[in-house]
């Protein structure tokens, strides 16, 4: 018995070792092949000079980085606004009182419209449209207007995520909450919403990864954020390396966020 057990364990170890070896070899092979393919392409020397110039990277990086702070600030503020406003829209949509019908209809229309317009279009419309109205005291700061456009678009998405979470909490939970004597509002606040929010953390974080990238869209309104700075640098030096520097900076925030999503998802599956 013990012999067979040891033999099984040994076989299992062998399998694991062989698997790891195969994975390593195939990875190395693919990488070598890709590098060789790109390196042997006729245009590679030019591409290396215009996209991977260390010199251009070094000189442009500080400027791009300082532009990137604007992106960071913008998405932190927009994220917070979206979290709150999305919840408000979702809650409005879950109400049932007839008196609130206009509000409910408005929330539904809002989600339909703003989820259906490309973000870039929305940035254009708000960024150039609102100042064009020439209202007294109307905001004209492009960063602010870009932030408003992003908030409007992402609030629509996030409201739907929240709503899906609220719908996913089984009706028996609401029943039990009412049965102990809570009001409808208290049942939502203390019983349904806490469970709903826990369930939608992974999809919420996913939406925030895409928001982190989409802040670059305010570049079209002119403020000097990372992408815009990189564009200007690239245009003045005829070298595209600054764009690569900007891309790296975006990855620096999106990849940790993606890992966080993985962790949260694994944990919620375990629970």
Contact footprint for another protein (CB under 8 A): 172-173, 175-184, 186, 190-191, 194-195, 198
| Dist CA 160 CA 108 (whole Å) | 10
CB of 176 to another protein, least distance (A): 4
Which of residues 74 and 191 has its CB atom nearest to another protein in the complex? 191
Asked if 185 and 100 count as a contact pair (C-beta separation under 8 A), the reply is no
Which of residues 40 and 172 has its CB atom nearest to another protein in the complex? 172
* Six token digits for residue 105: 């209809």
CB of 206 to another protein, least distance (A): 22
CB of 268 to another protein, least distance (A): 12
Asked if 158 and 207 count as a contact pair (C-beta separation under 8 A), the reply is yes
Asked if 54 and 237 count as a contact pair (C-beta separation under 8 A), the reply is no
Sign of CA dihedral 241, 147, 257, 209: negative
Which of residues 237 and 265 has its CB atom nearest to another protein in the complex? 265
CB of 97 to another protein, least distance (A): 14
| Dist CA 202 CA 265 (whole Å) | 6
Which of residues 135 and 190 has its CB atom nearest to another protein in the complex? 190
């Amino acid at each position: 018995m013990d012999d067979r057990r040891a033999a099984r364990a040994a076989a299992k170890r062998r399998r694991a070792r062989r698997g790891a070896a195969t994975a390593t070899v195939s990875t190395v092979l693919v990488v070598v092949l890709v590098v060789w393919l790109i390196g042997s392409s006729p245009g590679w020397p030019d591409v290396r000079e215009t996209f991977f110039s260390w010199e251009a990277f070094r000189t442009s990086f500080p400027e791009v980085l300082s532009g990137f702070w604007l992106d960071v600030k913008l998405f932190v503020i927009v994220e917070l606004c979206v979290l709150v406003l999305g919840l408000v829209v979702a809650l409005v949509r879950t109400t049932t009182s007839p008196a609130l019908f206009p509000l409910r209809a408005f929330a539904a229309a809002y989600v339909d419209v703003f989820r259906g317009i490309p973000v870039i279009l929305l940035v254009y419309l708000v960024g150039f449209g609102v100042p064009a109205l020439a209202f007294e005291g109307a905001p004209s700061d492009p960063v602010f207007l870009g932030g408003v456009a992003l908030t409007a678009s992402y609030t629509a998405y996030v409201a739907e995520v929240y709503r899906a979470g609220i719908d996913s909490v089984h009706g028996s939970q609401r029943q039990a909450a009412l049965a102990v004597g809570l009001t409808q509002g208290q049942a939502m606040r203390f019983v349904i919403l806490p469970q709903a929010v826990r369930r939608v953390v992974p999809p919420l974080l996913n939406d925030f990864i895409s928001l982190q990238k989409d802040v670059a869209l305010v570049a079209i309104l002119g403020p000097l954020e990372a992408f815009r700075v990189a564009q200007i640098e690239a245009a003045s030096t005829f070298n595209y390396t600054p764009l690569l520097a900007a891309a790296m900076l975006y990855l620096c925030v999106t990849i940790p966020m993606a890992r966080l999503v993985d962790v949260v998802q694994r944990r919620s599956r375990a629970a």
